[in-house]
Chains A and B, each alone.
Chain A
Amino acid sequence: MLLVNTVFFGFNIKELLSASEERIFSVAPYAGMTRSSERVKDPDAFKGEACMSDVSKHFIQGIHGPVAGFSLYGEKPGIYIAEFSLKASDNSIDKRVLICDAVEYNGPFVNDPSNSRKINAKEFDSSNIYQKFSVKYRVSGQGFVSLSVRWFGEINVWWDRVTVKFEEAFTNEDLYQMMKLEDKPDELSINQNQFNIFEAQGLFADMWGFKKAVSMINGSKRKVSLFKYHSQWPGVIPEYPDTYEKLFGYNLIILNNVNVIGLKVTGRKQLVDFVESGGMLILLGDTHMLAQGEITETFIENILPVKLSPPRDVVRSDIPLYLKPDSNLSNLNLNWSKKPYTVYYHKVQNVKGDVLLRSGSIPLIIGKRCGSGKIIVILLSVFGESVKDSDGIPFWEWEDWPKLLSEVIQGGVK
């Protein structure tokens, strides 16, 4: 097994030469596909090698598939220009000889006509000299970008590189408008009779005790989904209710240490509508939530009861942060003498809601009404170990923690 993600000859591994807005990628034939090209030495080419399709060797009648290409993941939403550097053996024939494709698959712009550019041999100014051909394409951030070239076997062609330029960023509103997303159906409402909960669980989710907390609520139902994550791709929450109808079948969504990238712009907008229509949303977690969960600059950020710090917002306190209830929670019959504490917490820039739990001046649970629903953000963290010199216990070991959570949930929908 090889985990080192780097360049090796002949494979479709990206080579990032510049980390700025313009990036250059070398190209190589698709491995395992119809052999319609090969990597060859070419003194004119980028790094002296190019991907070549030779009529006498590679052309198979009826096969016009990509001769080479590669994919990019995690691209920011916006407009891009891909410049394909190509060379042709003959520029005299009046025929389409190549198609350059730059497409975001799994995204809303997959059918944009501008994603593909047909190239006639006559468009080459000279034979056997590299020339750039541009393709402008849009990225929503929901899918992955594929850059490839199709060949029709008329003449020999070489492709040595593609330069990708980031031209303009999209805001959420831009995307929403461009994607012409459906609005919430007017007749849809949220049933508030019993708790029907969807909990997406990421790392350490068991530590938070939601299972026990929910079991304290009569008649509640809870569906759990386990998070799948890869740092290069959007996270996946299996069976996430990804339509208005499915989402409004629940009245509480708990995103327990899962990021919101995988929900896509559609899902995030639906979630905001869900809260404003009377649903409850609880956000918590250490590695994949709040600033760590890529919420910043999404629709969800707009309804948060806090202003987020930049990423790596989970910080460690030098001393244990003993929990102190505020307002609603202070009347609960909980055993505070155990001195539950947290060591790590999400540091926020300011608070825009009601603080339900704090430690000194540090807010730890904050709630906020939003439309007819509520959003609750839990800033505690299960990072760390017991503090040796403390006479308290980590909050996740505190027997009353699930009870407190249960109250947060039930108080939240009042």
Chain B
Amino acid sequence: MKYRKVLVLVIGLLFAGESIYAKEFSRRLGPKAQLSSDGHVIECIPAWAEGLEGGRPNYLPRASIVEWNIPAGNPGKYKVTLRAKVEHIGVASQIWLEAWEDGGFKVDTGYGVYREPIAYDRLYGQRFTADNIYTEFGLIFRIPGDKSVHVALTYRPIAPEGNDLGKVTVEKSSLKLEQLPASVAIVEVKPDKIQYRRKESGALKIRMVSIENQQRNVKLSVDLIGEINKRYPIVSTEVLLEPQGLKTIDIPFNAPEEDGGYEAYVRASVEAKVMDENNDYFAVSDNPFKFAIVTSTVGGDEPEYQIPLFLSGSAESFSHFKEKVTGRWKEYLADVDLAVSVLRKNYVTYYEFFAWAPDDCFDLTPDGDEPFFSGQTFYISSTPQLRAIIERLHKNGIMVAAYANPVSLGWLGIEWLRRRPEWFLYNENGQLKASFDLTVNANYKAGIKTPGNVYPCFEVNNDGISPIDGRRAVDHHIDEIIASQKMFGWDAIRYDVAHWHKCIPELRRQLAKRSDPKMYIGNNTGINLCGAEPSELWNLLGADGSLVMEEATTFAHTETDPRHLFEDWIKFVVRGSDLSREAGGHYQTICSTWSNWATMAIEYAARAHPFNRGVNAPLLGNYNQFMVRYGIFFWDERIRGINNPEKIISVKSSSPLWWKQFTSERVLGEKHKQIIIPLINTPKNKAVTDPTPSPRQDNVEISLQLSDKSSVVHAYFLSPEPYTRCIPLEIKRTGKKAVVKVPTFYFWGNVLFDITGQEGGL
């Protein structure tokens, strides 16, 4: 060992130009790890360690197996590598290779502090080659040097009965943390928004750090890359970096005018040699539903991100609200900033304010600045609070939708009913179509929050004209929407109940004419309401890029639901998604109480927009990030599912894959189209609630039979796992067949064929 250090030193002296990179950092073992008796390996059985117990959740904070420390003052680009093995390829346990800063982004979850890594690789079970076989892992990361950084192999502490990995073993000689020889590191690339409107002005924040002890001129090139590799050069400029200096630069740009996902790609060169490159992603569309990465839970069931009172559903009373929100306004806004940054970090592009209004139909414009109860939920909020949240969401490019209903869900409906009884519905016996409990109403009037599903409902008759002024309920409702948009800045309105279908065209016309920017419409409909075949109703609800939400999907978790098994679930979601697209809309599945990372991937592969209960769900990679960049290959309006794709495509794999259900084509012109083949590695079990994965997929081969007049120009592999990537594939041509070999993937990968042909030859 001593000799090796001397050798490094000698080599370092010989290559004095790179000597600044030859550093050693202190390393220690974690609380449950120990060196083997022969000193060759580090062994650890992931389990509770002292100080880490404490009920739910069982994975906070993560515990180290082996950990390095890089002190402050060591900026640069680093790489850590190691070889590790597990006794069993487990599915419940997680090991991470990660780097995090002291004082970096963290959230106090109430269960301990969740620290957001600056870089990580999740070594989920399948990433290991096989049981008890060493697999090499590596992680590259950049640090600005202003804070000390920890680099570690970590695990989520688990109870002994939950450990399905057995013992984790790390080969000691394989442990390596090195600084890479780059005089400049691009520490961060961040568009100011996650989603832009077409041609909207934006700015790219770039943080760079110099490793050298002298001033340096750095050539900085910034491009946007859309589709697969369509480049939009933004700037190429010289930047002067001070010795060991950290510099932040804002590069203005205009978003492209084509909807799509884009990579902001930045390259730093010194003396014509590329020193570093880095990137981030954003989407472009005017339609908040088209690239919708959806959640409305910051907190909720995901303990990693519990940020109290973000939407104040948890406020117990007006006095509690004042104490937690208005009484500590500055601190509250800091909480909101934190919550929004969590959404942003998880590539959320769309946020819906559920049941926020005093009345979902008749009052979307609360009076004054005082806190109020929402009609449906007894949520407490206030106009200044809503404005502050929406302003911050918009600043980050997250579009916001106002939840609404074409029925009066709120106690204010009582007074509207009294004044304008013609606006309400009665059954054939003359009975009011309504439900209410006046004891709850008394609480409402007294300012007492009442828990449970206690909302009133008054069904609205849109054919009824008030004799007072000749107006219908929908006239008043539209005025409320327009006024509410002026008040809060909504991008869309999303209805939960679909009672006034015939008003939708008028609603659309009026919003197109009066809202600014144009508000889009969402509905809670889908197959549940419209049936499983195309129809006028589908066309009505899906038209004009509307959102078609399918809440019925939430019942698939019950054993008796016919969608409870993956295969049935997939058929249902693909069908709903295709019907929505054919009608001109976008399909959102909502399985908020049980969804998991597998259904999330399947829903994306099925060209839908899953409502993500947790914002950090995938075990491998980042599905949301992937869809922001490559969602255009799933959500483009021109995409249509291919019936019986096995007639032209064959997939060879060692274990079953689902692909036929998902395969689609994107026709870009008479001579150009793309075929997208999502590949889902079938889980071990059949029920949608059990995502236990099968072993990874190696050596999958896909062949595509082409017509005489067409040919494959390019083929690519696109996958979120283990990180967002797009790899060109080598195409072997045999007659009119194009054959590609798919790189190893774990649960979800996609192959894209880019095809050209003679006119009419596609």
Bound CA span A230–B438, Å: 12
Q: Which residue of A lies closest to B563 (CB)?
A: A9
Interface residue A119 (Cβ < 8 Å from any Cβ of B): no
For this complex, 10 residue pairs linking A to B, each with C-beta atoms less than 8 Å apart, are A1-B453, A3-B457, A3-B496, A4-B524, A4-B529, A8-B552, A31-B555, A226-B438, A226-B439, A229-B435
Q: Are B436 and A228 in contact (CB under 8 A)?
A: yes
Interface residue A38 (Cβ < 8 Å from any Cβ of B): yes
Contact A2 to B524, CB < 8 A, known contacts A231-B432, A291-B430: yes
CB contact between A9 and one of B405, B421, B436, B561 (< 8 Å): that residue? B561
Q: Are A1 and B496 in contact (CB under 8 A)?
A: yes
Contact A8 to B421, CB < 8 A, known contacts A28-B560, A229-B435, A312-B426: no
Interface residue A227 (Cβ < 8 Å from any Cβ of B): yes
Contact A383 to B421, CB < 8 A, known contacts A3-B457, A31-B560, A231-B434: yes
CB-defined contacts of A230 to chain B, threshold 8 Å = 434-435
Q: Are A231 and B431 in contact (CB under 8 A)?
A: yes
CB distance from B312 to the nearest CB of A (A): 18
Within residues 278 to 334 of chain A, which ones have a CB less than 8 A from any CB in chain B?
Answer: 286-288, 291-292, 294, 310-314, 316
CB distance from B199 to the nearest CB of A (A): 38
CB contact between B421 and one of A1, A238, A286 (< 8 Å): that residue? A286
Interface residue B442 (Cβ < 8 Å from any Cβ of A): yes
Bound CA span A259–B432, Å: 11
Contact A203 to B414, CB < 8 A, known contacts A3-B496, A29-B560, A288-B432: yes
Q: Are A3 and B407 in contact (CB under 8 A)?
A: yes
CB contact between A35 and one of B376, B442, B498, B559 (< 8 Å): that residue? B559
Interface residue B427 (Cβ < 8 Å from any Cβ of A): yes
CB distance from A100 to the nearest CB of B (A): 20
CB-defined contacts of A238 to chain B, threshold 8 Å = 439
Interface residue A262 (Cβ < 8 Å from any Cβ of B): no
Q: Which residue of A lies closest to B554 (CB)?
A: A2
CB-defined contacts of B437 to chain A, threshold 8 Å = 226, 228-229
Top 8 nearest A-B pairs by Cβ distance? A311-B430, A226-B438, A230-B435, A29-B560, A228-B437, A9-B562, A312-B430, A3-B497
Which of B418, B419, B429, B433 has the most chain A CB atoms closer than 10 A to its own CB?
A: B418
Q: Are A385 and B468 in contact (CB under 8 A)?
A: yes
Bound CA span A294–B21, Å: 88
Interface residue A198 (Cβ < 8 Å from any Cβ of B): no
Interface residue A218 (Cβ < 8 Å from any Cβ of B): no
Q: Are B438 and A203 in contact (CB under 8 A)?
A: yes
CB-defined contacts of B528 to chain A, threshold 8 Å = 2, 4, 6, 8
Q: Are A11 and B555 in contact (CB under 8 A)?
A: yes
Bound CA span A53–B497, Å: 35
Q: Are B442 and A226 in contact (CB under 8 A)?
A: yes
Q: Are B430 and A227 in contact (CB under 8 A)?
A: no
Bound CA span A32–B497, Å: 25
Over the window 417-453 of chain B, the binary record of Cβ atoms lying under 8 Å from chain A Cβ atoms (1 yes, 0 no) is 1110100001101111111111101100000000001
CB distance from A309 to the nearest CB of B (A): 10
Contact A231 to B529, CB < 8 A, known contacts A31-B560, A35-B559, A382-B418: no
Bound CA span A280–B280, Å: 78
Bound CA span A118–B476, Å: 57
CB-defined contacts of A292 to chain B, threshold 8 Å = 430-432
Interface residue B116 (Cβ < 8 Å from any Cβ of A): no
Interface residue A153 (Cβ < 8 Å from any Cβ of B): no
Interface residue A62 (Cβ < 8 Å from any Cβ of B): no
* Given A1-B496, A37-B560, A229-B435, 10 more pairs with CB closer than 8 A: A30-B560, A31-B555, A31-B558, A202-B438, A226-B437, A228-B436, A230-B434, A231-B435, A287-B417, A287-B432
Bound CA span A338–B433, Å: 36
Interface residue A384 (Cβ < 8 Å from any Cβ of B): yes
Q: Which residue of B lies closest to A292 (CB)?
A: B430
CB distance from A385 to the nearest CB of B (A): 5
Interface residue B760 (Cβ < 8 Å from any Cβ of A): no
CB-defined contacts of A277 to chain B, threshold 8 Å = none
CB-defined contacts of B467 to chain A, threshold 8 Å = 316
CB-defined contacts of B434 to chain A, threshold 8 Å = 229-231, 287
A-B contacts counted at CB < 8 A amount to 124
CB-defined contacts of A10 to chain B, threshold 8 Å = 555, 558, 560-563
Bound CA span A313–B426, Å: 12
CB distance from B461 to the nearest CB of A (A): 12
CB-defined contacts of A181 to chain B, threshold 8 Å = none
Interface residue B391 (Cβ < 8 Å from any Cβ of A): no
Within residues 378 to 420 of chain B, which ones have a CB less than 8 A from any CB in chain A?
Answer: 405, 407, 414, 417-419
Interface residues on B, range: 35 or more
Interface residue B544 (Cβ < 8 Å from any Cβ of A): no
Which A residues have a C-beta under 8 Å from some C-beta of B? 1-4, 6, 8-11, 28-32, 35, 37-39, 49, 201-205, 207, 226-231, 238, 259, 286-288, 291-292, 294, 310-314, 316, 344, 382-385
Q: Are B529 and A204 in contact (CB under 8 A)?
A: no
Over the window 587-602 of chain B, the binary record of Cβ atoms lying under 8 Å from chain A Cβ atoms (1 yes, 0 no) is 0000000000000000
Q: Are B436 and A203 in contact (CB under 8 A)?
A: yes
CB-defined contacts of A204 to chain B, threshold 8 Å = 414, 418
Q: Which residue of B lies closest to A32 (CB)?
A: B558
Q: Which residue of A lies closest to B572 (CB)?
A: A9
Q: Are B417 and A203 in contact (CB under 8 A)?
A: yes
Interface residue B551 (Cβ < 8 Å from any Cβ of A): yes
Q: Which residue of A lies closest to B437 (CB)?
A: A228
Q: Are A231 and B436 in contact (CB under 8 A)?
A: no
Bound CA span A240–B414, Å: 23
Bound CA span A1–B559, Å: 21
CB-defined contacts of B529 to chain A, threshold 8 Å = 4, 6
Q: Are A4 and B498 in contact (CB under 8 A)?
A: yes
CB-defined contacts of A202 to chain B, threshold 8 Å = 438
CB-defined contacts of A32 to chain B, threshold 8 Å = 558
CB distance from B586 to the nearest CB of A (A): 19
Q: Are A385 and B419 in contact (CB under 8 A)?
A: yes
CB-defined contacts of B498 to chain A, threshold 8 Å = 4
Contact A231 to B421, CB < 8 A, known contacts A3-B457, A10-B560, A38-B560: no
CB-defined contacts of A287 to chain B, threshold 8 Å = 417, 421, 432, 434
CB-defined contacts of B497 to chain A, threshold 8 Å = 3-4
Within residues 285 to 316 of chain B, which ones have a CB less than 8 A from any CB in chain A?
Answer: none
Bound CA span A195–B468, Å: 40
Q: Which residue of B lies closest to A232 (CB)?
A: B435
CB distance from B435 to the nearest CB of A (A): 4
Q: Which residue of A lies closest to B468 (CB)?
A: A385
CB-defined contacts of A203 to chain B, threshold 8 Å = 414, 417-418, 436, 438
Q: Which residue of A lies closest to B551 (CB)?
A: A2
Contact A314 to B431, CB < 8 A, known contacts A8-B552, A28-B560, A228-B438: no
Q: Are B555 and A8 in contact (CB under 8 A)?
A: yes
Q: Which residue of B lies closest to A344 (CB)?
A: B421
CB-defined contacts of A310 to chain B, threshold 8 Å = 430
Bound CA span A325–B339, Å: 65
Q: Which residue of B lies closest to A312 (CB)?
A: B430
CB-defined contacts of B407 to chain A, threshold 8 Å = 3
Bound CA span A313–B421, Å: 13
Q: Are A231 and B419 in contact (CB under 8 A)?
A: no
Q: Which residue of B lies closest to A40 (CB)?
A: B562
CB-defined contacts of A35 to chain B, threshold 8 Å = 559-560
Q: Are A383 and B430 in contact (CB under 8 A)?
A: no
Bound CA span A290–B435, Å: 19
Q: Which residue of A lies closest to B453 (CB)?
A: A1
CB contact between B419 and one of A39, A294, A384 (< 8 Å): that residue? A384
CB-defined contacts of A4 to chain B, threshold 8 Å = 497-499, 524, 528-529
Bound CA span A32–B431, Å: 33
Q: Which residue of B lies closest to A259 (CB)?
A: B431
Bound CA span A29–B429, Å: 32
Which of A32, A203, A313 has the most chain B CB atoms closer than 10 A to its own CB?
A: A203
CB distance from B103 to the nearest CB of A (A): 42
CB distance from B508 to the nearest CB of A (A): 20
Which of A2, A38, A226, A311 has the most chain B CB atoms closer than 10 A to its own CB?
A: A2
CB-defined contacts of B441 to chain A, threshold 8 Å = 226
CB-defined contacts of A11 to chain B, threshold 8 Å = 555, 561
